[in-house]
Amino acid sequence: MNATDTLDTQLDPKAPDIDALVNRLQTLFDARGLPPALFQSFAMAFDEVISNIAAYGSAHGAIRVHVTIGTDEVHAEVIDDGVAFDPLKLPDPDVTSELDDRAIGGLGVYLVRKMMDRVAYERREELNCLSFHKRIAAKPDA
């Protein structure tokens, strides 16, 4: 693995620059020749997770983001120092009722769980650590 296989950055917890993160992510994925659909999954996941931390979390320190591209999988982790909160314990939102009849909230985490192959949460040293992984689809033979 070389330096182009990872992305490590920090974002302001009150006003995270998600666009800058997504641009850096795009550069990383493009350098590895990864499919646009894979990039879109991670861009959406980061947007949802980081927006929720900024809007509802209580983080004081920087939101840390780590992305590692392996040979067959992309692994990402978002870490913040807010109050312990496991978003994976939220119930799945109602996605069958009419929009006007649905409760507000929970859809972003639900989407991340559906888009990724694995999503995990752990509380580590007073930090919220949310990780998500997605396999890199094999390229069809030319």
- DSSP code per residue over 54-65: HHH----SPEEE
Q: Helices marked H in 32-91 — which ranges? A: 36-56
pLDDT digits over 30-77, tens only? Answer: 999 999 999 999 999 999 999 999 998 899 999 999 999 999 999 999
User: Residue 57: its pLDDT value, please?
Assistant: 87
Collapsed DSSP state (helix, strand, coil) of residue 14: coil
Residue type, 122: E
May I ask the CATH architecture of the domain 12-135?
2-Layer Sandwich (3.30)
Q: At residue 23, does pLDDT exceed 70? A: yes
* Structural contact between residues 68 and 75, judged by C-beta atoms closer than 8 angstroms: yes
* pTM, entire model: 0.86
Give the residue, 27 or 56, on which the prediction is more confident.
27
Q: What is the mean pLDDT of residues 18-39?
A: 96
User: Residue 82: its pLDDT value, please?
Assistant: 95
Collapsed DSSP state (helix, strand, coil) of residue 28: helix
Residue spans of the domains in the chain: they are 12-135
